[in-house]
Amino acid sequence: MIDLLLRIGHESFQWTTVLIALAIAFGVSLLLGVLILVINKFTQVKEDPRIKEVQDCLAGANCGACGYPGCAGFAKALVEGTAKLDSCGQTPVDKRIEISNILGIEVGGNAEPTIAVVSCSGGVKCRDKYDYQGYGDCVSQNLLAGGRKACEVGCMGAGSCVDACPYHVIECREGYAHIDPDLCRSCGLCIQTCPKSLIKRVPVSAKVYVACSTQCRGKDVTTKCEAGCIACGKCERNCPTGAIHLVNNVPMIDYSKCIHCYKCLEGCPRKCIKYVHPEDVPASSETAEQAK
Amino acid sequence: MAEKTKKSANPTLIAAVKAVAVLVCICVVCVALLAVCNEFLYIDDEERFSRAMRDVYSGYVPADGFEADLTHASAPTGSIEKVYKSTDGVYIIEALGNDGYQGGTVTLYVLINPDATIKSWAIKENTLQSYIARVPSDAGTKWYVGKRVDEEFVKDMTGATVIKTTDAIYNAVKAAAWYCLNTESVKNELGLIDKEGLARDAVKQLLGDGYADYDFAPVNVSSATVDGTKSVADALSDDADKLSYLFRVSKDGDVLFAYVYGEETLKIVAVKDGEILSKSEGVEDTDAIVANILANRIYTFTFGSYNAYAIITNAAEGVYTVAGLKVGTVPNTYVLKVTIVADTDGKGKVEKIELTTDGDGWEQGVPQDNANKLVTSLKGARLDNIDSLYTDNKVSGATQSADLIRAAVQAALTAFDASQASAD
Amino acid sequence: MKLKRFKEIALDGTVRQNPTLRLVLGTCPTLAVTGMGAISCLGMGAAVIFVLVFSNLIISLLRNVIPDKVRIPCFIMIIATFVTIVSMFMEAYMEKLFATLGIFLDLIVVNCIILGRAESFASHNPVLDSVCDGLFMGIGFTLSLTLMGIVREILGKGALFGVQLWNFKIAFFAEKAGAFLTYALFIAIFNVCYNAVERKLKHKAARNAVAIEREAEAAASTEAKEA
């Protein structure tokens, strides 16, 4: 080994080979560099500079809920005019306005940011049609006679939405899915995934939501689920502003009219209207049941 | 318009030049670095050779004044790059073998012992053999080792899952062997010259066209010993004219013998039925062989379809040292000491027979017990009753060897009777 | 460089973005070298670490100089230089390892890991970060390669680091199909564990962040009340 090192300064250090190698390297790299540039001139693709500007305004989460490949793809589609700004639930309002200015399009849609809530609280309180033992989640279970729940729109609690959520804010407890309202970014992937379409968007400022989606009423509901809405209409009568109405036996809240009085929640005999934020639940034991 | 394009062209041109400049700079610097490293780390042929020798042949000492003869460097299966020789006579041939994986080659150092057997080999380098690492590391000391260079090697693939690479290795070894067989100096050194072939050709030439289609069969005279030390050849000739080959030339019952002796020039004597048929140049009657021939010491016997030959190498006071030689499937030579005394009617009678062996241990065709039995039974034999005595005790399964023993005894008896007759 | 950043880079290289098991880059040497024995894996890993560290270093140093259009030829040139240096060094001082690795040593030039890290990290990150990234990516590669090599050697040859342990061998694992199977199993097992751990950690971290925010808000509101 030492004899190899001793070649430093030895006569065998051939300058000629080194120089030849350098000359070849110089020549070849020059040639190839010029070749690259020449071809580049002919094949250059011009990209609209607005795409970059729009992309910088977007939330940059790359969640894919808009249906385009990442924020870059969405920006490109927006510039091309094939995408709607509404598709992205995460971009804050000021950025949306900026984008609409750059592109000269309307902002449209909801101005207020939203979060997702699961419109079902049956879970273990809802009877099972059959005992499902098998692989997979809600989507695959739904293929088998609409899932194991007696209620056609009951949450199966098997976690398809849990897997879909890129922010890991959904959890299945007591047999049905709970979305953490503080962490939800309203990307909408869980909404797309739920086979029962149970997940809905409510404004961030919402304090109550309807935790049932069944269009059945009365005894039909009580035989299936303890927490299901029987469409008694009490909430509609109690609401001072007329914000809540029964539509097809499903209570719907118009959040622009809601004044956060909680009368609908307190009056509900079935306790199927719930607080959005668990910390809003009063400490008293009676209303503690309203907690998630 | 012209102004506009000019304005926009400049920055792109500068950018382009910068790009090329950076690329060229990086390439040149990298290559410079590599060239410098290469100077330090390059392994040249010398280094490779000494590494291989370190692994395979640590006793290598280059022979003084050895110059490789590379006239036959292009073998059918590869080529020879270099040849080295060690002071103890070992040849190291750097052989390239073709037909490897992907058409590549393997270069080996093939080491050949002075006795023309393969000592070992080591891989120097290869081209395109991606799985050369699968050749077992001890293959160089196992495959083909000990095989003589003129033998047909069998491809030895035990333990390797690389077929094509092994092909290339096989080709390299074959190329080295071919080199040895075709280069005169090496051939001589390793003892690869087919001396017997040369002798045979010389005999054919002497005898002429009349004997061109005869069968030339060699008789074993050099390894058979008389008294355990002297070979039959030694007994029939002296150092100056050492008998090297004895051929039995025959066809359809017509038989003659050709004795080949001499070192520098081959001297040949052809004998038929005890008479000298022809002699090559330089043969003198005083040559030991010729004298022995003229003294009628060689006998031929026919038993059934076999011929057996006996040569009396020594005759003194009734004790005949006879070598029973045979051409054919039994290459052995039986050397007997037959003591013959005169019977009441003056004919020779066998009194004692001693069997000697040629070399260490009994390796004749006849098992020793049976040979001893045969020998004992031939005691008291005379020329007129040796037939019956022999047939009763012939050893089955080793007929030809037994025939040889009998031939030897019969020769001694014949010689005795002949000498008695001439004495009278 | 901050300790946090260092930890991030270190974890990324070895676990979170392990080039073999998470990014699935450089599969060619993985499949081939794991079959040659655990020692060869270590040797290969060492070579890759050397090339990664130095090429990341140089590329990071030159990241503002190399124009975008010719970046690929420049990167490859730099990587090839270091691979050649490693190869020459190994041939001179570690002949056996060099002979065993053979062509795969030269193939490090086009190993996706090295070009991938050069492209995605070294070309827009500071020097020290890039060097650490190269080092830990190399360590991650070496670890995963060695583990797979050990498994394949024990199962396929009944040996460990060249020492024969027993005669029981399942030849399948020493073959090419076994390489694929072992690799697939490693990726599967690693990712299942990784996803499970990641989910728990992320949820916990998110909840902690919210709790901290809430406390800050509460503190601010009580301050406001007092004021």
A89 and A119 belong to one structural domain: no
> Does residue A229 lie in a domain region?
yes
B334 and B258 belong to one structural domain: no
* CB–CB contact B22 C81 (8 Å): no
> Does residue B41 lie in a domain region?
no
Overall average pLDDT of the B247-275 stretch: 78
> Does residue A84 lie in a domain region?
yes
Number of H helices, E strands in chain A: 12, 8
> Does residue A41 lie in a domain region?
no
pLDDT at A117: 92
User: At B107, phi and psi to the nearest 5?
Assistant: -110, 125
B390 and B338 belong to one structural domain: yes
B157 and B225 belong to one structural domain: no
B155 and B85 belong to one structural domain: yes
B394 and B301 belong to one structural domain: yes
B203 and B307 belong to one structural domain: no
Overall average pLDDT of the B259-278 stretch: 78
Give the pLDDT band of residue B2 (cuts 50, 70, 90). Answer: very low
Residue ranges of the alpha helices (H) in B71-154?
Answer: none
Give which of C203, C214, C217, C221 to mutate to test A binding, by max A Cβ within 10 Å.
C203
Report the residue from C81, C89, C95 with minimal CB separation from B51: C95
Long-range contacts of A71-78 (CB under 8 A, 24+ apart): A75/A51, A76/A51, A78/A54, A78/A103, A78/A105
Give the pLDDT band of residue B159 (cuts 50, 70, 90). Answer: low
Q: pLDDT, tens digit, for every residue of B404-418? A: 777 778 878 877 777
DSSP B285: T
Q: Rounded distance, CA B17 to CA C67, Å?
A: 10
Chain A residue with minimum CA distance to B16: A37
Residue finishing a domain among A103, A133, A167 = A103
* CB–CB contact A37 C93 (8 Å): no
Q: Give chain B's contact residues with A (Cβ, < 8 Å).
A: 16, 19-20, 23-24, 26-28, 30-32, 34-36, 38-41
Give residue for tokens 């790009």: B19
Report the residue from A1, A168, A183 with minimal CB separation from C210: A183
Residue A99 · residue A71 · CB < 8 Å: no
Give the pLDDT band of residue B424 (cuts 50, 70, 90). Answer: low
Find the radius of gyration of the CA atoms of chain C.
Answer: 22
Residue ranges of the alpha helices (H) in B313-398?
Answer: 368-377, 386-393
Angle between helices C127-157 and C112-120 (to 10 degrees): 160
Question: Which residues, listed in sequence order, are joined to residue B197 by a DSSP beta bridge?
Answer: none
Give which of C41, C85, C90, C98 to mutate to test B binding, by max B Cβ within 10 Å.
C85
A88 and A191 belong to one structural domain: no
> Does residue B128 lie in a domain region?
yes
Q: Rounded distance, CA A140 to CA A158, Å?
A: 10
Tally Cβ neighbours within 10 Å of residue B120.
Answer: 22
B65 and B153 belong to one structural domain: yes
Overall average pLDDT of the B156-174 stretch: 84
> Does residue A36 lie in a domain region?
no
ipTM above 0.90, yes or no: no
| Residues of chain A positioned with their CB less than 8 A from the CB of C93 | 1
Q: Rounded distance, CA A115 to CA A126, Å?
A: 25
Residue finishing a domain among A103, A131, A146 = A103
Q: pLDDT, tens digit, for every residue of C17-65? A: 999 999 999 899 999 999 888 999 999 999 999 999 999 999 999 999 8
| Domain total in chain B | 3
Burial environment of residue C225 by CB neighbours within 10 A (0 to 12, 13 to 18, 19 or more): exposed
| Whole-number average pLDDT of chain B | 77
> Does residue A183 lie in a domain region?
yes
Q: Give chain C's contact residues with A (Cβ, < 8 Å).
A: 69-70, 73, 77, 92-93, 199, 202-203, 206, 210
A61 and A118 belong to one structural domain: no
> Does residue A20 lie in a domain region?
no
Four-CA torsion C166, C171, C176, C179, nearest 10 degrees: -50
Four-CA torsion B7, B12, B18, B24, nearest 10 degrees: -130
B66 and B113 belong to one structural domain: yes
Q: What is the mean pLDDT of each run of 10 residues along chain A (292 residues)?
A: 52 75 92 89 79 80 77 84 78 79 68 84 90 82 88 89 86 90 85 89 89 90 91 90 89 89 90 88 59 45
B287 and B341 belong to one structural domain: no
> Does residue B27 lie in a domain region?
no
Q: Is the predicted pLDDT of residue C188 greater than 90, yes or no?
A: yes
A134 and A222 belong to one structural domain: yes
Residue B415 · residue B338 · CB < 8 Å: no
pLDDT at C128: 93
> Does residue B10 lie in a domain region?
no
Chain A residue with minimum CA distance to B26: A29
Overall average pLDDT of the B121-131 stretch: 85
A96 and A204 belong to one structural domain: no
| Residues of chain A positioned with their CB less than 8 A from the CB of C210 | 182-183
Q: Rounded distance, CA C71 to CA C77, Å?
A: 10
> Does residue B39 lie in a domain region?
no
Residue finishing a domain among B273, B295, B317 = B295
> Does residue A121 lie in a domain region?
yes
pLDDT at B107: 92
What is the extent of the structural domain holding B240?
A: 194-295
What is the extent of the structural domain holding A96?
A: 49-103
B309 and B282 belong to one structural domain: no
Q: Rounded distance, CA A278 to CA A180, Å?
A: 9
A133 and A95 belong to one structural domain: no
Residue finishing a domain among B259, B277, B295 = B295
Q: Rounded distance, CA B78 to CA A193, Å?
A: 69
A139 and A237 belong to one structural domain: yes
Q: pLDDT, tens digit, for every residue of B339-366? A: 888 877 777 788 877 776 544 444 455 5
* CB–CB contact A168 C73 (8 Å): no
Q: pLDDT, tens digit, for every residue of B192-225? A: 777 777 888 888 888 888 888 888 877 777 766 5
> Does residue B113 lie in a domain region?
yes
| Shortest Cα–Cα distance, C201 to chain A (Å) | 10
Chain C residue with minimum CA distance to A2: C93
A182 and A231 belong to one structural domain: yes
Residue finishing a domain among B162, B190, B218 = B190
> Does residue A2 lie in a domain region?
no
A177 and A76 belong to one structural domain: no
Question: Which residues, listed in sequence order, are joined to residue B107 by a DSSP beta bridge?
Answer: B96, B125
Question: Which residues, listed in sequence order, are joined to residue B259 by a DSSP beta bridge?
Answer: B246, B269
* CB–CB contact C100 B133 (8 Å): yes
B58 and B168 belong to one structural domain: yes
* Cβ neighbours for B126, distance < 8 A, ≥ 6 positions apart: B100, B104, B105, B106, B107, B132, B165, B168
Report the residue from C70, C80, C101 with minimal CB separation from B22: C70
Instruction: Assign residue C136 a region (left: φ > 0; alpha: ψ between -120 and 50; beta: otherwise).
Output: alpha
| Domain total in chain A | 2
* Cβ neighbours for C217, distance < 8 A, ≥ 6 positions apart: none
Q: Residue A278 maps to which CATH number?
A: 3.30.70.20
* CB–CB contact B28 A8 (8 Å): no
Residue B370 · residue B398 · CB < 8 Å: yes
A93 and A128 belong to one structural domain: no
Collapsed DSSP state (helix, strand, coil) of residue A275: strand
